């Protein structure tokens, strides 16, 4: 199975497929046929509310400051690329622990 992240010197890039207005904030695992992390947020997709909720969800899940997470692409799309600043090896370990 492909992993939804790419490692760089000082950060990790994470591909996410977001479901806004999803009833709750949750990470639903990795999409089997594509390399995307599946996530849902209760926020509606207007004025960046769903993107902000996604950034907060990822930051809380990895126990890192939300200022370390930023949106690189997919501002209005369901498929997004997030940049997560920090030690990439440490971030991958946190992701693998969280995802089980």
CB burial string 41-65: b at 16+ within 10 A, e below: bebebeeeebbebbbebbbebbebe
Average pLDDT over residues 50-77: 96
Q: What are the structure tokens assigned to 72, written together?
A: 């690189």
Q: What pLDDT, on a 0 to 100 scale, did the predictor assign at position 1?
A: 56
Average pLDDT over residues 62-82: 96
Are the beta carbons of 39 and 54 closer than 8 angstroms? yes
- CB proximity list for 97: less than 8 A, separation 6 or greater: none
Q: Is 18 exposed, middle or buried (0-12, 13-18, 19+ CB in 10 A)?
A: buried
Q: What pLDDT, on a 0 to 100 scale, did the predictor assign at position 33?
A: 78
The pTM is what? 0.93
Q: What pLDDT, on a 0 to 100 scale, did the predictor assign at position 98?
A: 82
Q: What pLDDT, on a 0 to 100 scale, did the predictor assign at position 12?
A: 96
């Amino acid at each position: 199975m492909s992993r939804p992240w790419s490692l760089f010197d000082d950060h990790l890039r994470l591909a996410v497929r977001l479901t806004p207005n999803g009833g709750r904030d949750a990470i639903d695992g990795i999409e089997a046929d594509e390399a995307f992390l599946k996530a849902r947020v209760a926020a509606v997709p207007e004025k960046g509310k769903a993107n902000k909720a996604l950034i907060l969800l990822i930051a809380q899940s990895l126990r890192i400051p939300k200022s370390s997470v930023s949106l690189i692409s997919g501002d209005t799309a369901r498929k997004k690329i997030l940049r997560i600043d920090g030690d990439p090896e440490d971030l991958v370990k946190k992701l693998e622990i969280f995802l089980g």
